[in-house]
Structure 1
Amino acid sequence: MSTVRRWIPNQHGAWAMLAVPYLAGVLIGSPTWLQLPLFLAWLLAYCAVFHLEQWVRLRRASRNPRAAARHRRPALVLGSATLAFGLPLLVAEPWLGIAAALAAPFLAVNIAYARRNRERALANGLVAVVPACGMLLVALRAGGGQVAEGLAPALACLLYFAGTVPYVKTMIRERNSEAYRRGSVAYHALALLAAAVLNPWLAVPFALCFARAAVLPGRGLRVPVVGAVEVGCSLLLLGFLAGVYG
């Protein structure tokens, strides 16, 4: 069990970002068998990339060679598993190669930040959000839907998950930064307006997100509570996306 725990990334907040856009794409379109192995490949790819980034980061940042080495095997095994799932899907649906190519520059940026030991940087977090939200379009297309009909819900996901990056920082790493708090609140106010333009019903979950960004920082909430709030907000967004666009 301890070995499995070491192989699973400890970035708990990332799982909602990986799952919600993808599930929204499934619910908005028509679920098909293709979406299940594609989702597994997506999760395996995330785990492989996580260990790759840690290996790259620790080779430069740690004086202990074993710190980086313990990520090498998970990166290789999980990367191989990703290919085992991904290559048959690519043969069946060649357009997935285009999706992978579009995601590659964002991955390169994340690796570059990891190499500089700056993976916690605000910009790096925002870059990671883009391909995750783009998976809504991939899941929708895999279900026979059209990319055009997924643009608005994908943008809604982008607005939400981009906001979680500065907000979570105001709750944990930057909890004493007034500048971060003001920036987070300002962003969420703009995101609320943008979401309402996309669809008036989306103002409901985004208003709640604005309220939590304005009220919760500085209240000393524990990390598990912060995570539970984010899970609730993510599920609320998923429900509204499925209801509005499904």
Structure 2
Amino acid sequence: MKPILPREHGGWAMVSVPFLLGMFVGGPKWLHLPLFFGWMLFYLAAYPFRLALMRRKDRRNFVRWALIYWALGMVFLIPPLLWEPSLLWAGPVLAALFCINGWYAYRRNERSFVNDLCAILAFSVGGAAAHMVGAGSWDAMALWVAVPCILYFLGSVFFVKSVFRERKNERWLIASKGYHLLLLILTALLEPWFVLPYAFSAFRAFLWGGKTIRPMKVGIIEIVGSLLFLVLSIIAFSATRPPTI
């Protein structure tokens, strides 16, 4: 029985980068290991579940794999939840966002901007939860960890759409470049260190936006950009007070 795994490069980045950022900013602990495995397995479970909503063929197999991933994820989450029961507060938020994603999957409209935004919010909650485990409580910094991730991956949505589905849409390209330019200006005014994590994001939007690019190249650009964002965000958090963006 072959495992069902997501193929989107962006999805793997969005599920891991906010978590790793939250872990490093909050302070790594041994609980992050089972929490990360549980978080990844929940991400894996969501993929076949969405497929089950979209397709009748092989639906039973999709549901089977969703339940397998979900059950394994719950096993890994037992230690973090016993140690930090307040992690449960993230549950209702994630459930609501997951239901919205499920609705868009059922309607076969996963490319919707709102659906992308809800997915980004859900992944960023994972970053806030990772910070909470490291810091020991929900505090303002957990929000500040989530916000830069939301802003960065929202830029990724603009960029990816501008080279694929909306490549010939001039208004979308203008919106993508405008978003990245505005993001650089605001961060420069409010917290200059945070210009660094967004610099490559703006660079790719202006250099490659609206051009025909092979999916493999876009995947490489996204991986490199996500790694740069993670490393430079850690540096920015280490060098500044909580960002005010």
TM-score, scaled to structure 2: 0.90
CA apart distance, 1:220: 2.2
Of stretches 218-227 and 117-126 in structure 1, the one that deviates more from structure 2 is 218-227
Distance across 2 between alignment mates of 1:145 and 1:204: 28
CA apart distance, 1:143: 1.1
CA apart distance, 1:202: 1.5
Question: 1:83 aligned to 2:82?
Answer: no
Structure 2 matches for 1:153-172, cutoff 5 A? 153-172=145-164
Distance across 1 between alignment mates of 2:236 and 2:194: 8
Structure 2 matches for 1:106-185, cutoff 5 A? 106-144=97-135, 147-185=139-177
Q: 1:171 to 1:75 in 2, by over 3 A?
A: same
CA apart distance, 1:136: 1.8
TM-score, scaled to structure 1: 0.89
Question: Which residue number in structure 2 is paired with residue 51 of structure 1?
Answer: 48
Deviations 1:88-118 (A, max 9, x none): 4323321111011222111111011111111
Distance across 2 between alignment mates of 1:53 and 1:115: 7
- Residue ranges of structure 1 left out of the alignment (5+ in a row): 60-64
Question: Which residue number in structure 2 is paired with residue 200 of structure 1?
Answer: 192
Question: Which residue number in structure 2 is paired with residue 36 of structure 1?
Answer: 33
The one-letter amino acid paired with 1:10 is: R
Question: 1:15 aligned to 2:6?
Answer: no
Distance across 2 between alignment mates of 1:109 and 1:85: 25
Retained in 2: the 8 A contact 1:30–1:145?
no
CA apart distance, 1:197: 4.2
Deviations 1:148-203 (A, max 9, x none): 12333321111100111121011122222222211211221222233334520221
The size of the alignment, in residue pairs, is: 237
Retained in 2: the 8 A contact 1:170–1:217?
yes
Distance across 2 between alignment mates of 1:197 and 1:104: 36
Runs of 4+ in structure 1 over 3 Å off: none
CA apart distance, 1:122: 1.4
Percent identity, aligned pairs only, is: 35
- How large is the RMSD of aligned CA atoms in angstroms? 1.8
